[in-house]
Amino acid sequence: MIIMRMFVDRKEELKKLMEISKSKKPELVIIYGRRRVGKSRLLVEFTNRVNALYLLADLSKNILDILSTQIGDKFVKFNSWEDFFEFIYKSEYDIVIIDEFQYLYNIDKAWLTILQRWWEKIREKNKKIILCGSIISTIYKISKGYGSALYGRKTHEIQVKPLKFIHIMDFFPHYDSEELIKVYSVLGGIPRYLEEFDPKLSVNENIREKILDKTSFLYNEPMNLLFEEFRDPSPYVSILLAIVQGYSRFNEIAGVSRIESHKLPKYLLTLERVDLIEKEIPVTEKKIKVKTTRYRIRDNFYRFWFSFVFGNKSMIELGLEDDVFIKIKRELNSYVGKCFEDLCREILFYADIFKFTRIGRWWHRDKEIDIIALNEHTKEILFAECKWQNNINPAKICKELVEKSEYVDWNKNDRIEYLAVFAKSFSKRIDTFEGRRVYCFDMNLIKEICRSF
């Protein structure tokens, strides 16, 4: 049984599914995304709007019997996968959804071969089969890339990603801007995690009750998912810990994690595929170079958990969670400041300054700029700094930005420059600095932009 939860955003994904449901041709659709991201909730919402059969798979050995009971008020008995696919072929359902389909492959490696064979027959009736999966490493193996079982047969591939910051206020309508940014820094955009926090409690109270309580759902969630995703999660844990501690370059990660350099690329690529880390190069560079490449944790909750929970689990198990909580409160502001940059990058997409073709961080030797956004066609470029502080003097920040911008080797003699400063609040707002347009984003403006979208 699917527990109905909040349905937030997902307009693009739902629109695409509705288009697929109305197509006049057979469709074999793959939907994937990390656990708790809201795939099943999306499919249930879709099922409520169309004539579709929704089936949920698991690892039970009697899975055929379980699927039989999900058909509804009809008495159906599946003795084999041949019976199962024959039912799909003959049934009145034009759309069949199989959620967590990777489990069927794990139970029976022949399942995909049987699907391939039956699909050639089922497609004659212009039916739609939607396969949804959560274990990304398995999804890549069986459905993505040349040589995979479903390569050349799937007609659409939809990745369900975490929610953007602008949708967080749907979960916490009474939080002010600072609290919204804090909760996003702690949980990211995973709907299931956001639902765990009580909107009537403060962010700090939620951390204490919903994460540090060893009986809570979130307490051991990252490790539970790593064990489900990987047979041996230990190398992945070592990599995540190294990155959390500030070791972001390949050689640094190899040294701290003690993973041999020739094995590390495979582990890094896998963590990228499951959306837990991402590879970064200075935004003005087009080629990936080892010496300028950095790795960062992409998922905010994993970043928070490995920063504050993983290393303190022994204290929590001993009943000293209050001591851990005191440490978190002391360091939370600094932690949020590091996450604030990602949020600011998102806000720029809605700020209507100019259309970006690229956006990201920039660094060169000892110089760094939090955000550079640029348009390679119009030669416009924006330099932005993010300060998780009050009473910021934007003129001072702009002076530093202009000085660092001289080191950015991108259309230096033929570009239009803009400056932006993000902060909790400003001592005095400015509109221009040395002939450049300046944009000052404080908490009030950030919330106003989010509400407008």
List Cα–Cα distances, 234 to 135, 223, 241, 245, in angstroms. Answer: 17, 10, 11, 17
Percent of the chain at pLDDT exceeding 70: 97
For every residue of 101-146, DSSP letters joined together read: THHHHHH-TTHHHHHHHHHHHHGGGT-EEEEEE--HHHHHHHHSST
d(CA 411, CA 414): 5
The residue-averaged pLDDT of 10-29 equals 93
| 143 pLDDT above the threshold of 80 | no
Kindly report the average pLDDT of the chain as a whole number.
92
The residue-averaged pLDDT of 237-244 equals 97
Q: Show the CA angle centred on residue 302, arms to residues 299 and 307, nearest 5°.
A: 125
Half-sphere exposure of 375 (CA within 13 A, CB side): 12
Range 96-125 burial, b when 16+ CB lie within 10 A, else e = bbbbbbbbbbebeeebbebbeebbeebbee
The residue-averaged pLDDT of 50-60 equals 92
pLDDT value of position 7: 66
pLDDT tens digit string along 336-381? 999 999 999 999 999 989 999 999 999 998 999 999 999 999 999 9
pLDDT value of position 146: 59
List the domains of the chain with CATH numbers.
11-159 (3.40.50.300), 167-338 (1.10.10), 351-452 (3.40.1350)
pLDDT tens digit string along 261-318? 999 999 999 999 888 999 999 999 988 887 889 999 999 999 999 999 999 999 999 9
* 394 class by beta-carbon count within 10 Å (0-12 exposed, 13-18 middle, 19+ buried): buried
Residue 268 has phi, psi (to 5 degrees) of -65, -45
Q: What is the length of the chain?
A: 453
| 3 pLDDT above the threshold of 50 | no
* 283 class by beta-carbon count within 10 Å (0-12 exposed, 13-18 middle, 19+ buried): buried
